Amino acid sequence: SQQGEEDPQALSIQEGENATMNCSYKTSINNLQWYRQNSGRGLVHLILIRSNEREKHSGRLRVTLDTSKKSSSLLITASRAADTASYFCATDVKGGADGLTFGKGTHLIIQP
Amino acid sequence: NAGVTQTPKFQVLKTGQSMTLQCAQDMNHNSMYWYRQDPGMGLRLIYYSASEGTTDKGEVPNGYNVSRLNKREFSLRLESAAPSQTSVYFCASSEGRTGIYGYTFGSGTRLTVV
């Protein structure tokens, strides 16, 4: 079963705009991670946020975590055409077996 | 280049045939994983190995076997391929359980079973 669910499933914006993707999960976590996947390629780790953290930044990326709502958001500022990709959240479930549990992803298209 | 290497990149099998997907990492990571990715399903964990000499089932292990040959290599075997195993397979590794740097993924093996 899917632990994380991204919203929206697809998002199309103009270059230069900000893109926001959301992830909801069901059970308590140790950390939550975001990955990017370009078409036909493997996943690339973007950022990890621990359960005791509320916000984290990395370059143009900003991730928030609300453990009370079991949700996270990924904000990409000043989007570029190269940001076109699918974005996945993944959770490390507290007390769970090894292995991250991935959501189904948000497909982001940046229009030039 | 440091990272995770998967072979082959593409494979077509007939129903009932067997094959082994190879994965090797050169980052000295303890943990390795096999996932499958299907359209609309995200990634699902097949098997994982927390350390050399250990393997455990993930969410969808039926029809697969794995071998952690040494610290670098983790192979996935399909003994009798079925059309339902048509998918893209990804190998990943991490430093520790999830690692402070997350997972490093290979580029995937696209498998079609006809």
Q: Which residues from chain B sit within 8 angstroms of residue A100, using beta carbons? A: 45, 98, 103
B100 CB neighbours in chain A (<8 A) are 48
- Closest residue to A102, CB basis, from B43, B107, B108: B43
With an 8 Å Cβ cutoff, are A98 and B50 in contact? yes
Q: Which residues on chain A place their C-beta less than 8 Å from a C-beta of chain B?
A: 1-2, 30-31, 33, 35, 41-45, 48, 88, 90, 92, 97-105
Give residue-wise pLDDT tens across range A49-92. 999 999 999 999 999 999 999 999 999 999 999 999 999 999 98
- d(CA A110, CA B11) in angstroms, rounded, equals 32
* Per-residue pLDDT reduced to its tens digit, B38-81: 987 789 999 999 999 999 999 999 999 999 989 999 999 999 99
Q: How far apart are CA A17 and CA A110, in angstroms?
A: 9
For residue B67, the one-letter residue type is S
Q: Taking a C-beta distance cutoff of 8 angstroms, is the pair B70, B51 a contact?
A: no
Q: What pLDDT shows up at residue A80?
A: 97
A36 neighbors A44 (Cβ within 8 angstroms): yes
3-state class (DSSP) for residue A53: coil
Between CA B11 and CA B21 the distance in angstroms is 10
Residue A13 pLDDT class (50, 70, 90 cuts): very high
Residue A48 has φ and ψ, to the nearest 5°, of -125, 135
Are residues B114 and B13 in contact, defined by beta-carbon separation less than 8 angstroms?
Answer: yes
Please compute Rg for chain A using Cα positions. 13
Instruction: Please report where in the chains the tokens 């498998």 appear, as a residue.
Output: B111
Task: Report how far apart, in Å, the C-alpha atoms of B64 and of each of B1, B5, B45, B78 are.
Answer: 29, 20, 12, 5
Q: Give yes or no for residue A106 having a pLDDT over 80.
A: yes
Any idea what DSSP says for residue A32? E
